[in-house]
Amino acid sequence: MEVFDIFLLEAILNGLLLGGLLALLSLGLNLIFGVIDVVWICYAELIMCGMYAVYYLHVQYHWPLLAAMAAAVVIVAVLGVILHQFVIRPVLGAEPINQLLVTGGVLFFLQAAATLAFGIEFRNLGVTLPSIRLGEMSFSAARLVAFCVALAGMLGMYLFLSRSYLGTAIRAISQDRAIMPLMGVSPARIFVLASALGGALAGLGACLLVLQYDVHPAIGLSFGPITFLICVMGGLGSMAGGFIAAFVFAQFISVGGFLFHLEWGYVLAFAFFIAMMFWRPQGILGRR
């Protein structure tokens, strides 16, 4: 009788934990796309800014970790609003592809500015959470925390969007941008609100990532591509679709990486993405 591979199970469970984190990252991007109809290519660079904020406030200025994290969420939310007001708003009427490209320019800018300001060193927060043993398997507590916080964040977002007045307005705008102004909803204000929320979600993601990874100026490139491929695969603007896609992607990365090599996990995930696009171009739960 063949013994069930305990390490495969570990890889699957780690993939599940990673999936929660990726789902949180894609949630903010999906919110922005659903409401404003713009893809923030620089989303992962906002996360990088949040990670630096946590690092500097905690390590250099000796703030308590939780206070530094709360501040980081606020800082990235403000960055989101700045991004919207000064970069996105002028191109709202332009061709869609210009909207995509302009945030790509912001990606370049933030990455280079971070190199200029902070140098290319890898910076570690210096907070290590213990690893949790379960039989022969071990999981890092940071991942578990990230998974739980991500789920809580998504639940909070869901309740906000479905129960509150503002959340209803946001959903209404994303369903019909032309009609809602006639109903007395101001799109400009909703856009700013959505940008702040999207930024805050990026900030929350940053707090969770900084517990597991060192921060450096190019870190955005290791999360950005996966995040928007998840959104596209789930169907841009569909938060439930992004949720499913995040877990599928995470399994590819984790199990593929376990069976072959870490990069092959990513290669498989990206190849799967391309194949999915041909099968369902509008995404798993997308509308076009």
Residue 17 · residue 146 · CB < 8 Å: yes
CA distances from residue 279 to 230, 240, 251, 282 in whole angstroms, order as listed: 15, 19, 20, 9
The token pair at 287 is 């509308």
Binding of another protein at residue 7 (CB under 8 A)? no
Residue linked to tokens 């309740």: 159
Query: What phi-psi label fits residue 129: left (phi over 0), alpha (psi between -120 and 50 degrees) or beta?
Result: beta
Binding of another protein at residue 158 (CB under 8 A)? no
| Interacting positions 28-47 with another protein (CB under 8 A) | 39
Stretch near another protein under the rule CB under 8 A, chosen from 59-67, 151-159, 192-200, 263-271: 263-271
Beta bridge partners of 131: 140
Size of the site for another protein (CB under 8 A): 43
CA distances from residue 286 to 35, 118, 250, 282 in whole angstroms, order as listed: 14, 40, 20, 5
Binding of another protein at residue 213 (CB under 8 A)? no
The binding track of 80-109 with respect to another protein, each residue x by CB under 8 A or -, is: -------x--xx--x-xxx-xxx-xxxxxx
Which is nearer to another protein, 188 or 271 (by Cβ)? 271
Which is nearer to another protein, 30 or 69 (by Cβ)? 30
Burial of 64 (0-12, 13-18, 19+ CB in 10 A): exposed
Report the residue from 116, 133, 135, 178 that binds another protein according to the rule CB under 8 A.
116
Rounded to whole angstroms, the Cα distance separating 111 from 230 reads 22
Binding of another protein at residue 223 (CB under 8 A)? no
Residues in contact with another protein by the rule CB under 8 A: 39, 87, 90-91, 94, 96-98, 100-102, 104-113, 115-116, 120, 217, 221, 224-225, 228-229, 232, 261, 263-264, 266-267, 270-271, 273-274, 277-278, 281
